[in-house]
Amino acid sequence: MLTYYQSTADPALTFPAAVGQLEADVVIVGGGYAGLGTAISLQERGAKNVMLLEAQSIGSGASGRNGGFVFGGFSLDNADLLRQLGAVQGRALYQLTLDAVARIRQRIARYQIDCDAQYSGVLLANWFQDDKPLRELQQFMQSQLGVQWDWLGREQLREQLLSERYHAALFESNAFHFHPLKYAQGLARQLHSGGVAVHEASRVVSIERDGAHWRLQTAQASIRCREVVVCCGGYIERLYPALSRAIMPIATYVVATEPLGERLHSAMRTQAAVYDTRFAFDYYRPLADTRLLWGGRISIQDRTPEQVQRLLRADLLRVYPQLADVKISHAWSGLMSYARHKMPQIGRLPNGLWYAMGFGGHGVAPTTLAGEVLAQALTGEAEIPKGFSSYGLPSTFGPLGRLAAQATYWWMQARDAWRA
């Protein structure tokens, strides 16, 4: 089954596979947001002879399957970020994510990307009756990060979200949501029109040193280049062991309802995107054609569309029982890339290979950030911020690590249920 995004994006947008003996200055492996972001940040700096290789089609992985939320921060909790790096360095990295949100807005306007962008903010809805943790979070964001998230009390919130499940919310007005695959396609169009060699159906099978250069092999091409940037995330498989072993691929699930028309207003009277305060939270948003897109859960299992539909339909009705007879039109899953420390992995190996990965759970702004800082480093404009090197590439221990992650998720899910 196609995802909702695939069924509503441009099916005519395709790029040829790489063929023959080729050369480039910089080769970027991966056609998701990190790869696209690196390429377009290089293009915006006037870089020439850049090539992007995608194994399948542009945005076919997490970048074209996600919830479409665009907001600041990383998967790592903001308080943990400041505690681990210190206030100055932690604030600096968080600010880079806000800069990335602004950069995405600017690129949508500058390149006229039609991606159903809805600039209506994001609501963090409190699943639990105790307002104190939410108040403390609001104070922390203001005092430590200089960000104002507006308070919505119970009655005010229930004018927007017609559910008995929520008790209050914080509203992030600078955030927005969009069609992630259309945005990825828009970036690819701009890259192609600006002279970047974009190749789909060009899975890289090996990356090796070739003297002072690199050589990459695909099924139909051999490419020699000066610099390589690997941006593969949850779909890296065994491409480059030093990177592959530092990634934990984790599945998440998404569905889209049939168009609801005016009936959408029986559940939502806002165009904001929504997520909640549980560890195992729901995330959802109204779509341009009045559907409701609903995502949630994480797992080491890549379930079938039928299984995803059953799971998320139950989650949706737990919040909005008034939508009991609504049909699900699309259901899908996708793999996110997590690091053990829950921070992005952005840097350069001792042998000179550049990388950007580990954006699972909170990736749209951080992948854009990664592209920008990598382009700065590749062009000699600035070094990669030192905060990222603090986290490194610790092993995720393969199948054992995934089992541990699943057990942790179940434990946190049980803790949420106990709190509720």
pLDDT tops 80 at residue 30: yes
For tokens 């480059």, the residue is 240
The pLDDT of residue 98: 98
Average pLDDT, the chain: 94
- CA 327, CA 344: separation in Å to the nearest integer? 37
What are the tens digits of pLDDT across the range 56-110?
Answer: 999 999 999 999 999 999 999 999 999 999 999 999 999 999 999 999 999 999 9
Nearest to 370 by CA among 93, 23, 112: 93
pLDDT tops 70 at residue 208: yes
The pLDDT of residue 116: 98
- CA 145, CA 60: separation in Å to the nearest integer? 34
Which contiguous run of DSSP H or E holds residue 257?
Answer: strand 248-257
Mean pLDDT of 148-170: 97
- DSSP sequence for 192-246: HHTT-EEESS----EEEEETTEEEEE-SSEEEEEEEEEE--GGG-TTS-HHHHTT
What are the tens digits of pLDDT across the range 171-192?
Answer: 999 999 999 999 999 999 999 9
Residue 345 in contact with residue 391, Cβ under 8 Å? yes
Range of the domain at 225: 4-419
At 165, phi and psi to the nearest 5? -75, -25
The pLDDT of residue 248: 85
At 370, phi and psi to the nearest 5? -60, -45
Encoded amino acid at 361, one letter: G
**Three-point CA angle 125, 404, 64, nearest 5°:** 55
pLDDT tops 90 at residue 371: yes
Helices and strands counted in the chain (H then E): 12, 18
Mean pLDDT of 109-117: 98
Contacts of 256 (CB under 8 A, 6+ apart): 4, 287, 291, 292, 293, 294, 328, 329, 330, 331
pLDDT tops 70 at residue 410: no
Our count of domains for the chain comes to 1
What are the tens digits of pLDDT across the range 290-301?
Answer: 999 999 987 777
Burial label for 406, CB within 10 Å (0-12, 13-18, 19+), is: middle
pLDDT tops 70 at residue 401: no
Nearest to 323 by CA among 256, 265, 254, 267: 267
For tokens 């069609």, the residue is 179
Give the CA radius of gyration of the chain.
Answer: 21
The pLDDT of residue 308: 93
Residue 363 in contact with residue 30, Cβ under 8 Å? no
Residue 338 — very low, low, confident or very high, per pLDDT cuts 50/70/90? confident
- CA 168, CA 100: separation in Å to the nearest integer? 28
Token pair of 53, please? 């290789």
Three-state secondary structure string covering 95-159: HHHHHHHHHHHHHHHHCCCCCCCECCCEEEECCCCCCHHHHHHHHHHHHHHCCCCEEECHHHHHC
The pLDDT of residue 92: 97
pLDDT tops 70 at residue 405: no
Residue 360 sits in a domain of what CATH number?
3.50.50.60
pLDDT tops 80 at residue 43: yes
Residue 397 — very low, low, confident or very high, per pLDDT cuts 50/70/90? low
What are the tens digits of pLDDT across the range 373-389?
Answer: 999 999 999 999 999 99
Mean pLDDT of 236-262: 92
- For the chain, the residue count is 420
Please tell me what DSSP assigns to residue 161: B
